[in-house]
Amino acid sequence: MSYPDIVVVNDGVPVIVTSDASSGFKLSPQQLEAAITPKTKWLILNTPNNPTGAVYSRRELSELGKFLERHPHVWLMSDEIYEHFVYNGATHVSPVAAIPALQQRSLIVNGASKGYSMTGWRLGYGAGPTQLVDAITKLITQTTTCPSAISQAAAVEAFGGIQDAPHHAGKVFQQRGKLMRELLKDAQGFEVGELTGAFYLYPSVAGLVGRTTPAGEVVASDVAVVKFLIEEAKVATLDGSAYGLSPHLRFSFATSEEAIREGCKRIVRACAALS
């Protein structure tokens, strides 16, 4: 949800291309081609994706790359922060690896927050062509300066050490994601998609819109569903409108199985109370 505001604060105009559940929440080459204009500067891709969990295959990325090759003025930013979390046969592929011809106009952004559970340390990194990295460095040294020395030393160990921890976390999240998906399928009005990546589920709650709460209020949108679940089930979720795609809710399974079971039980009970 931060991308549009980041573009605006840098005097750009964000152009949102909407992809829905029918496409697996993925951008198609045809949509990309239709959206590109002479003023287009960057394509921003996030795979595995927040909030949907969508993971682009090598073939899908290669197809997007064929269109980008026709437009040398467009750069590619690849957000790969959830790279360690892919499930059910999916594989993380960096667009830069899938589209070698774009390496000299691509920027990979990643960090320690997700794969290494260093969220509060606020450490990320970018990898790209020298001239772009030099420009980024000049900007950062006049704004944020640098991360703390402690977080930098920790990141050297995290990125360069044995990768058992993120691999184990991926297996644990897969189990928790499967559990949450099965439990949410019992909630009336929910349509839960496949589990593929990140640590989120992004079910449609269109089946709840228009229904009435025990208090007599009509559930008018996914925002209203969020409000209802907070009040009725004491469970906090995030509405899809925050990401520009309603009516969906984002659920994180980066928590304990006990919390997942209890939260889903409350949700199922609350949804059953709607008329």
**Could you tell me the two tokens for 31?**
């949509």
How many percent of the chain have pLDDT more than 70?
100
Which residues of the chain are in CATH 3.40.640.10 domains?
Answer: 3-160
Average of pLDDT values for 201-229? Answer: 95
pLDDT band at residue 205, thresholds of 50, 70 and 90?
very high
Q: What confidence score (pLDDT) does residue 238 get?
A: 94
Q: Tell me how crowded residue 235 is: count the other CB atoms within 10 A of its CB.
A: 18
| Encoded amino acid at 81, one letter | I
Distance CA 148, CA 254 (A): 26
Q: Which CATH class is domain 3-160?
A: alpha beta
pLDDT at 213 (0 to 100): 92
Token reading at 19: 């992809």
* Sheet of strand 75-79, all strands in order from the earlier edge strand to the far edge: 42-46, 75-79, 106-111, 124-127
185 Cβ partners below 8 Å, 6+ apart? 192
pLDDT of residue 143: 86
116-119: which pairs have CB atoms within 8 A and are 24 or more residues apart?
A: 116/155, 116/158, 116/159, 116/165, 116/166, 117/165, 117/169, 118/151, 118/154, 118/155, 118/158
Rounded Cα gap, residues 147 and 129, in angstroms: 22
Confidence check: pLDDT of 144 > 90? no
- Cα-based distances in Å from 11 to 77, 102, 134: 17, 25, 21
According to the model, what pLDDT value does residue 122 have? 86
* The token pair that represents 137 in the structure block: 């460095």
> What integer is the mean pLDDT of 231-249?
93
Mean of per-residue pLDDT scores for the chain: 94
Answer whether residue 1 shows pLDDT above 90: no
pLDDT at 9: 92
Q: What angle do CA 64, 86, 183 make, to 5 degrees?
A: 120
Backbone angle region of 210, left / alpha / beta, with phi > 0 → left and psi within -120 to 50 → alpha: left
Instruction: Provide the whole-model pTM.
Output: 0.90
Is the pLDDT assigned to residue 244 strictly greater than 90? no
Mean pLDDT of 33-51: 95
Residues 137-151 as b or e (16 or more Cβ within 10 Å = b):
eeeeeeeeeebeeeb
Q: What is the CATH number of domain 165-272?
A: 3.90.1150.10
